[in-house]
Amino acid sequence: MQPAVEMQPAIRRSAWMILALACASQFMVILDASIVNVALPSIQRDLGFSSTGLAWVVNGYLLTFAGFMLLGGRAADLFGHRRMLAAGLLLFSVASLVGGLAADPAVLVAARIVQGTGAAMLAPATLAVINTHFTAEHARARAFGAWSASGGVGGMAGAVAGGALTTGLSWRWVFLINVPIGALLIVVAMTSLAGVRTGRRESLDLTGAVTGTAGLAALIYGVMQSTDHGWTSVPVVVPIVAGLLLLAVFTLVEARVARPMMPLRLFRVRKVAVGNGMLLLFGGIAIAMWYFTSLFLQNVLGYSALRSGLGQTPAAVTFVVVARLASALLPRTGVRRLILAGSAFFLAGFAWLAQAGADSGYFTGILWPTLLVAAGIGLTFPTLMAAVTADVPEGDAGIVGGLANTASQVGGSVGLAILTTAAGAATADGRPASFAEGYDLVFLVAAALGVAIAVVSALLPRHQRPATPVASGTSDPHPR
């Protein structure tokens, strides 16, 4: 066997490929959560969707994506990160092909549900790959900065890419474009991750898998229903209560089984417990920023969906730049300082946005405050992701990645439902001034969430000096 130090140059050479694979996979997963939105009217006309059925082209993806994330994370630990990454890419690509060729509404919805399942396998595996290949603090921070930026760009590129593909070709290419990209990434995964261990020889905790996955899916389904029904209605209350009960059973099961799907001991790591709590709050902030500013541009200022996407592009660029900056600052400043700085940007940006009205101009009313919020997101998101995965054993990297993704997704789903309800009463008459009033209330709530993140960050451990890199496990994506 070669000495570990002799293996280092080979690891260093493959670092760029591994990071590019993780970032490209994350980009594709997040892109597909938003790219369909612009194409929905064309899909409805061509396939004859009802208004209720059309919503499931989006909800089917989001439901399985969030609901199966924990299971996908644990499966990555047990069966191997490379296998789960490749299997997720294959499932995602095949479902995209079926969706792009669909001639019936039921087929398209089924394809989106399978797509979401593939995404739930992919997302935690990308985090696990980064966490196990970039072990030095500086290298891991930079990798998470790139990974976070790729997801942010994917989310923002959705509106522009969806509009361009639907207008220039067909709505079907919104799905078909994933097929060649997915095929290429499968090849990269099987070659660049060839030396990754194949997983642990343990059986999957089936009881935990069923109760945890069903509980999350039921909870998220109930929250989604709240946008069409009142919070006290049967379609909302029943699945939410059922989901909470199943999650309670899941917790009891995980506390008693020998090899749980979600080891509760992980929550004794303060960064994991507190960081995931902040990711729940962060999900609401992200929704307020990208979703409701897009609605403001369209419903208040009268922008088209494509123009709205372009109008948010400066904020997306700011996010990418600041996320990269945060990754360089994290080893020097520690988590808490960056979180507090991000919260200050949230408070300033959303407080400014809350002053916007129907007569506001784009530059003074939207552009400058969204740049502030985007800077806060760039400081906060990669910092939280790096923090929650930093102090866990390699064998738990997948489940911790799944937990972090689940926290942000559940926070986004709950945040969307609550913020939509908050804006709903004011926007009932459909006038631009009324929409502005409702969205301003959303931005004030988001500012409060930013303050809450700052308060919760006080529970994080104080900054420690960066650990000395270990030669056999360090992989720097920026070799000098």
pLDDT in tens, 5-50: 333 444 455 777 888 888 888 888 888 877 787 777 788 888 887 7
Whether pLDDT at 375 is above 90: yes
- What is the mean pLDDT of the segment spanning 50-57? 72
Q: Tell me the pLDDT band of 348, cut-offs 50, 70 and 90.
A: very high
Distances (CA, A) of 338 to 131, 211, 290, 333, 418: 20, 36, 21, 7, 27
Burial of 418 (0-12, 13-18, 19+ CB in 10 A): middle
- Expressed in angstroms, the distance from the first to the final Cα of the chain is 27
Domain residue limits at 217: 205-260
**Cα(452)–Cα(274) distance, integer angstroms:** 12
Final residue belonging to a domain, choices 170, 187, 203: 203
CA dihedral 6, 185, 128, 29 (to 10 degrees): 160
**Cα(88)–Cα(26) distance, integer angstroms:** 12
Does residue 183 sit in the same domain as residue 284?
A: no
Does residue 65 sit in the same domain as residue 181?
A: yes
Amino acid at 207: T
Does residue 188 sit in the same domain as residue 279?
A: no
**Cα(454)–Cα(336) distance, integer angstroms:** 9
Does residue 250 sit in the same domain as residue 378?
A: no
Does residue 195 sit in the same domain as residue 279?
A: no
**Cα(300)–Cα(294) distance, integer angstroms:** 10
Distances (CA, A) of 288 to 416, 446, 449, 454, 465: 8, 6, 10, 17, 35
In contact, 379 and 457? CB cutoff 8 Å: no
Does residue 328 sit in the same domain as residue 407?
A: yes
Beta-carbon contacts of residue 24 (< 8 Å; ≥ 6 apart): 150, 181, 185
Does residue 191 sit in the same domain as residue 287?
A: no
26 inside domain: yes
The 10s digit of each residue's pLDDT in 417-429 is 788 777 776 666 6
Percent of the chain with pLDDT over 70: 87
Does residue 157 sit in the same domain as residue 107?
A: yes
Percent of the chain with pLDDT over 90: 21
425 inside domain: yes
**Cα(158)–Cα(309) distance, integer angstroms:** 8
Whether pLDDT at 439 is above 70: yes
Does residue 219 sit in the same domain as residue 323?
A: no
pLDDT confidence of residue 475: 34
468 inside domain: no
Does residue 195 sit in the same domain as residue 217?
A: no
Which letter does DSSP use for residue 467 in this model?
P
Does residue 231 sit in the same domain as residue 307?
A: no
Whether pLDDT at 92 is above 60: yes
Tokens of 179: 């097929």
Final residue belonging to a domain, choices 171, 203, 235: 203
pLDDT confidence of residue 428: 62
**Cα(71)–Cα(75) distance, integer angstroms:** 6
254 inside domain: yes
The 10s digit of each residue's pLDDT in 281-309 is 998 888 778 778 888 888 888 887 678 77
The 10s digit of each residue's pLDDT in 219-260 is 888 887 887 787 889 989 999 999 999 999 999 998 888 888
Whether pLDDT at 271 is above 90: no
Final residue belonging to a domain, choices 175, 203, 231: 203
pLDDT confidence of residue 370: 94
Q: Tell me the pLDDT band of 394, cut-offs 50, 70 and 90.
A: low
pLDDT confidence of residue 478: 34
The number of folded domains in the chain is 3
471 inside domain: no
Query: Which helix or strand (DSSP H or E) is residue 133 part of?
Result: helix 105-133
22 inside domain: yes
Q: Which of 124-138, 194-208, 387-401, 407-421 has the lowest mean pLDDT?
A: 194-208
Beta-carbon contacts of residue 172 (< 8 Å; ≥ 6 apart): 100, 101
- What is the mean pLDDT of the segment spanning 47-69? 79
pLDDT confidence of residue 259: 82
pLDDT confidence of residue 237: 93
pLDDT confidence of residue 342: 93
Query: What phi-psi label fits residue 361: left (phi over 0), alpha (psi between -120 and 50 degrees) or beta?
Result: beta
Tokens 């642990």 belong to which residue?
200
Does residue 158 sit in the same domain as residue 220?
A: no
CATH (domain of 391): 1.20.1250.20
Whether pLDDT at 464 is above 60: no
Least Cα distance to 131 among 398, 408, 465 occurs for 398
pLDDT confidence of residue 425: 64
In contact, 141 and 17? CB cutoff 8 Å: no
The 10s digit of each residue's pLDDT in 172-183 is 988 898 899 899
474 inside domain: no
Please, what is the average pLDDT of the chain?
81
pLDDT confidence of residue 429: 67
